């Protein structure tokens, strides 16, 4: 059995929209590229055809990945969450004790993670360390640069 994929309502909507785009508009675009490339003649030395077929393979692989993710998706009930403890779906404001700077993260499932947008995975070192902790807790996290302490300042939705 496949591993359940934790996902927020926002993440679920984004995946469904991407799947709809890929199966509709993007498939048509790639099919047209293949059709045009075929019209150039000899397929054995037709780089446009090879490129279009490679693009089609990548597209179909992404579609299959999204479909598998959606099949195993477990929606995070953000409405039923409390702000007492950190869990998947929580946003947390932290104080980095090493740099004395504040940072805010949203804890999401691994397929939604995007650190540049402040979304970290529940499977990341920081995400795993924060899960279950409360405001004022200090959490030590082993990261590539060593151990970093974070004080939880706030938990919110």
Give the side-chain half-sphere CA count within 13 A for 114: 4
Instruction: Decide the pairing of beta strands 119-121 and 101-108.
Output: parallel
Domain ranges of the chain: 5-75, 91-156
pLDDT tier, 9 (very low <50, low <70, confident <90, very high otherwise): confident
Percent of the chain clearing pLDDT 90 (strictly above): 67
pLDDT tens readout for residues 47-72: 888 899 999 999 999 999 999 999 99
Average model confidence (pLDDT) across the chain: 91
**Mean pLDDT within 31-43:** 86
Contact 105, 94 (CB under 8 A): yes
Q: Report the range of poorest mean pLDDT among 5-9, 20-24, 70-74.
A: 5-9
pLDDT tier, 135 (very low <50, low <70, confident <90, very high otherwise): very high
CATH 2.60.200.20 fits 91-156, yes or no: no
Contacts of 112 (CB under 8 A, 6+ apart): 7, 8, 10, 11, 14, 119, 121
CATH topology of domain 5-75: Helix Hairpins (1.10.287)
Residue-level pLDDT at 1: 61
């Amino acid at each position: 059995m496949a591993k359940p994929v934790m996902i927020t309502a926002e993440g679920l909507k984004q995946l469904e929209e991407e799947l709809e785009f890929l199966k509709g508009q993007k498939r048509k675009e790639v099919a047209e590229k293949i059709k045009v490339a075929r019209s150039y003649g000899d397929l054995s030395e037709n780089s446009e055809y090879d490129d279009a077929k490679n693009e089609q393979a990548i597209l179909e692989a992404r579609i299959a990945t999204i479909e598998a993710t959606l099949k195993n998706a477990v929606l995070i009930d953000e409405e039923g969450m409390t702000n007492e403890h950190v869990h998947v779906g929580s946003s947390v404001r932290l104080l980095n004790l090493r740099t004395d700077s504040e940072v805010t993260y949203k804890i999401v499932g691994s397929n939604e993670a995007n650190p540049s947008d402040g979304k970290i995975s529940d499977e990341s070192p920081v995400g795993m360390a924060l899960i279950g902790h409360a405001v004022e807790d200090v959490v030590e996290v082993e990261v590539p640069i060593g151990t970093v302490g974070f004080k939880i300042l706030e938990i919110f939705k």
